[in-house]
Structure 1
Amino acid sequence: MSKQIQAQADIGSLSLRGLGLFTDMLAVLSADNVTPMAMIQMEQLGSLFHVNGRFANRVPELLTRASSRPIGRLTLAVGWRRGDSVSLFAESAGGQAISLLSLCITNIYNEEAVGQILSRLSSRLLPKSSPRAGVVHLADVAALVASKLNVFGFGNILAEQTMRVHSAYEKLETTIPEGLLELPSVESIVEFLECLSHLREDDTVIRISGSSGVLYLLSIVIFMFPLDAIITAESYVIHEGEAGGRVVIEICDSAPVQVQVEKKLSQSTTLTLPLKVCEDGRKIKGACSFAWEGWIARKLQIDMRGSGKR
């Protein structure tokens, strides 16, 4: 019996700020029907992504958001209470980063694909000794995070970037490439995210070029790493972050999209890969969330551009 208790303590102390509040943590995880192992794995995965920008700055507040209203001598809690399972992510950089990543992929892919993405990415990036949760459990945590962060309206962001790219091509009086909103396959998005994890290395540049499915990649970068990004459409600059130059996206009429991880000092390419689009994106496609203001227009913009209509 003593060995079993000790093993449980060892697992719990892997992350999530130790287990000074182990009892409280189990209570909130049980209430939300998520497993501790999935939470720990997600936080460790998130620690490999150094996010920045206005969305990253708002994550801690949104994950722990709660408000109260005085009623005489009583106080009525309204909204999300502090201490629920997702609020544990607000306490660490890894938790905040995986929250942003979870929101992106839950808006782009369905639940099954989200679990596969998180599981495969963990296998590629985390040590073999790290805890491993099931695909379903990872997807459950990602969905719980998205339920709080969907207020960002990832669909609005995707629509805005779509219109910016189309506007750039119209100004250049150049034919807009086809397939900008083709859905990348699960394996391709895993490889893409693995490349983005290299941004934690100071001397690394991620270079993305092509057109098929690039708007999804572009939107993820704008959402998670806006300060590091430079984005061009046929050499026409449509976005340049304050610390731009570490993620370079060059939209051009070529397929498939190429992603390269380069070292600044040696200029040597450490990894080059093509991204493939899914043959039938409807099988794994998710449903984008939209901010209330202007959501109808944004939804129509994505649907119209994605169907190839001008």
Structure 2
Amino acid sequence: MSQQVQTQVDVGSLSLRGFGLFTDMLAVLSADNVTPMAMIQMEQLGSLFHVNGRFATKVPELLTRASSHPIGRLTLAVGWRRGDSVSLLAESAGGQAMSLLSLCITNIYNEEAVGQILSRLSSRLLPRSSPHAGVVPLADVAALVASKLNRFGFGNVLAEQTMRVHSVFEKLETTIPDGLLELPSVESLTDVFECLSHLRRDDTVIRISGSPGILYLLSIVIFMFPHDAIVTVESYVIHEGEAEGRIIIEICDSAPVQVQVEKKLSQSAPLILPMKVCEDGRKIKGACSFAWEGWIARKLQIEFARVGATCTQELLVAL
């Protein structure tokens, strides 16, 4: 009997990588109803993305934060507690990076599309010997993580970048390109994340140019890699990170989006991936989360931008 109790204690103190030895048992014991194999896969996939910026620094705190409300002699735990499945992602750089990636895609796509993106990325980037969970378990983990991090307000970031881009075109007195908020297809966003994974190599530069659907890519980069990014709108710089620009985003009038992986010291031909927008975005579109303060204004700015209009401050006041 004492040996059984000792085994349970040891399991609770294991790192995420150690879960592979106890998959069946932990699948039953997990209060979050997530598959441990999917958790391991998510952490390994996240290790390929080196995130930075203000959101990245806050991830560990939010993933492990918990609050409780006393009910008589009992305590009802609300949220996550230290040591459970989701908070374990906060213990590694890969888990933290994957948490930010999960938050981005769950705000843009529905659950099925999120699972497809994660599954395809895993097949392309992880070794065959690595754990490979199904589409649904991966989407479940992403949804759990996003529910903890949604207070970041990815929708606010999307609205802020939308207004910055619109303001530049207005200052230049040029027409705002159509389709800036068209939804990228699942295949295209998978290609983009595969290219971004190359940033773990010091001699790599990612160049993204064009306009259809590029506001989603811009928001993801600003959310996950702000220090590495340089963003221009018709050659007008609107963002320059603290580090040397390794992600260059060039928003051009009505040009198709191209994603290139370039080498700093090599003259080899770059890898070019044309990004396709989804023909019927309603089928895979998700719902953006917003921070509470100012969320109505940000939501209006995004919806106006979808039809090619700018929701000005004067209009917000009038509304």
The TM-score with structure 1 as length reference comes to: 0.89
Residue 178 of structure 1 and its aligned partner are, at CA, apart by 0.9
> What per-residue deviation string (whole Å, max 9, x for no partner) do you get for residues 11-63 of structure 1?
xxx9714359969x927962111101110111110000000000000000000
Seen in structure 2, the aligned counterparts of structure 1 residues 209 and 60 have a Cα distance that, compared at 3 Å, is same
Counterpart for residue 139 of structure 1: 139
**Does residue 193 in structure 1 map to residue 193 in structure 2?**
yes
User: Is the CA contact (8 Å cut-off) linking 1:183 and 1:277 kept in structure 2?
Assistant: yes
> What per-residue deviation string (whole Å, max 9, x for no partner) do you get for residues 243-287 of structure 1?
041000000014320000000011434411100000011110000
Cα root mean square deviation, aligned = 2.4
The secondary structure found in structure 1 opposite 2:207 is strand
**Which runs of structure 2 are paired with 1:228-267 in the superposition (5 Å)?**
228-267=228-267
Seen in structure 2, the aligned counterparts of structure 1 residues 207 and 20 have a Cα distance that, compared at 3 Å, is closer
The secondary structure found in structure 2 opposite 1:32 is coil
Distance in 2 between the 1:254 and 1:173 partners? 15
AA paired with 1:280?
A: D
Residue 307 of structure 1 and its aligned partner are, at CA, apart by 2.0
**Does residue 104 in structure 1 map to residue 125 in structure 2?**
no
Counterpart for residue 303 of structure 2: 303
**Which runs of structure 2 are paired with 1:67-216 in the superposition (5 Å)?**
67=67, 79-216=79-216
Task: Please say which of residues 137-146 and 83-92 is displaced more in the overlay.
Answer: 83-92
Residue 72 of structure 1 and its aligned partner are, at CA, apart by 12
> What per-residue deviation string (whole Å, max 9, x for no partner) do you get for residues 192-211 of structure 1?
00000000000000000000
User: Is the CA contact (8 Å cut-off) linking 1:198 and 1:204 kept in structure 2?
Assistant: yes
The TM-score with structure 2 as length reference comes to: 0.87
AA paired with 1:230?
A: I
Distance in 2 between the 1:192 and 1:180 partners? 16
User: Is the CA contact (8 Å cut-off) linking 2:27 and 2:35 kept in structure 1?
Assistant: no
Task: Please say which of residues 72-81 and 164-173 is displaced more in the overlay.
Answer: 72-81
Distance in 2 between the 1:287 and 1:162 partners? 16
Seen in structure 2, the aligned counterparts of structure 1 residues 22 and 303 have a Cα distance that, compared at 3 Å, is same
The secondary structure found in structure 2 opposite 1:31 is coil
Structure 2 gap segments, 5+ residues each:
1-13, 311-319
User: Is the CA contact (8 Å cut-off) linking 1:29 and 1:85 kept in structure 2?
Assistant: no
Distance in 2 between the 1:75 and 1:137 partners? 29
Seen in structure 2, the aligned counterparts of structure 1 residues 27 and 190 have a Cα distance that, compared at 3 Å, is closer
Seen in structure 2, the aligned counterparts of structure 1 residues 123 and 27 have a Cα distance that, compared at 3 Å, is closer
**Does residue 58 in structure 1 map to residue 58 in structure 2?**
yes
Residue 309 of structure 1 and its aligned partner are, at CA, apart by 2.8
Residue 83 of structure 1 and its aligned partner are, at CA, apart by 2.1
User: Is the CA contact (8 Å cut-off) linking 2:20 and 2:37 kept in structure 1?
Assistant: no
Seen in structure 2, the aligned counterparts of structure 1 residues 289 and 71 have a Cα distance that, compared at 3 Å, is closer
Counterpart for residue 7 of structure 1: none
Residue 308 of structure 1 and its aligned partner are, at CA, apart by 2.2
Counterpart for residue 5 of structure 1: none
Seen in structure 2, the aligned counterparts of structure 1 residues 20 and 309 have a Cα distance that, compared at 3 Å, is closer
Seen in structure 2, the aligned counterparts of structure 1 residues 30 and 73 have a Cα distance that, compared at 3 Å, is closer
Seen in structure 2, the aligned counterparts of structure 1 residues 27 and 37 have a Cα distance that, compared at 3 Å, is closer
AA paired with 2:247?
A: V
The secondary structure found in structure 1 opposite 2:30 is helix
Task: Please say which of residues 261-270 and 204-213 is displaced more in the overlay.
Answer: 261-270
User: Is the CA contact (8 Å cut-off) linking 2:207 and 2:249 kept in structure 1?
Assistant: yes
Distance in 2 between the 1:213 and 1:183 partners? 6
Distance in 2 between the 1:124 and 1:88 partners? 25
Number of aligned residue pairs: give it. 296
**Does residue 39 in structure 1 map to residue 39 in structure 2?**
yes
Distance in 1 between the 2:226 and 2:174 partners? 26
Counterpart for residue 286 of structure 1: 286
Seen in structure 2, the aligned counterparts of structure 1 residues 233 and 116 have a Cα distance that, compared at 3 Å, is same
User: Is the CA contact (8 Å cut-off) linking 1:29 and 1:35 kept in structure 2?
Assistant: no
> What per-residue deviation string (whole Å, max 9, x for no partner) do you get for residues 65-103 of structure 1?
024689999988665322221101000000000000000
Distance in 1 between the 2:266 and 2:66 partners? 49
Structure 1 gap segments, 5+ residues each:
1-13
> What per-residue deviation string (whole Å, max 9, x for no partner) do you get for residues 217-244 of structure 1?
0000000000000000000000000004
Seen in structure 2, the aligned counterparts of structure 1 residues 122 and 234 have a Cα distance that, compared at 3 Å, is same
